[in-house]
Amino acid sequence: MMMSGGLISRSLGLFALIPTTVLLTISFFVLLVVSNIEKKGLKAFGYVVAALLWASALLVFSAGIYTLSTGRHHGMCMMQGAMMGKMSMMPSGPMPMMMHHGPMSQTETKK
């Protein structure tokens, strides 16, 4: 029994659980270390790092949910848009020849 392309693409969303779990585990250890720190500045920095890790985990997890629900991942949309943009920007005639003088011409180096 062969799997369809849509099912494979949707199952890619499950792989978002791996980086989400890693980010949340790292944030746990950051918060564990922060609880033992007495300096207020360093403690605040630890809370900011933990909050950024949580936000990153939420972003990765939401991208996985999006992939599971639609079957399309964000990179695929960007790649298709970039290819379509490059196709329309291609010149139809020969490219003009450009003169190459290096980073500076000789008159600028004599000053």
Q: Is the pLDDT of residue 48 over 70?
A: yes
Evaluate whether residue 98 is within a structural domain.
no
Evaluate whether residue 46 is within a structural domain.
yes
Residue 65 neighbours by CB under 8 Å, 6+ apart: 13, 16
Domain count, the chain: 1
Evaluate whether residue 6 is within a structural domain.
no
Q: What's the 3-state SS for 13-29?
A: HHHHHHHHHHHHHHHHH
Average pLDDT over every residue of 70-88: 62
Q: Is the pLDDT of residue 105 over 60?
A: no
Evaluate whether residue 59 is within a structural domain.
yes
Evaluate whether residue 79 is within a structural domain.
no
Evaluate whether residue 83 is within a structural domain.
no
**Could you list the residue range(s) of the whole structural domain that residue 29 is in?**
16-74
Evaluate whether residue 1 is within a structural domain.
no
Q: Is the pLDDT of residue 32 over 60?
A: yes
Q: Whole-angstrom Cα distance, residue 57 to residue 32?
A: 18
Residue 73 neighbours by CB under 8 Å, 6+ apart: 9, 12, 13, 63, 66, 67
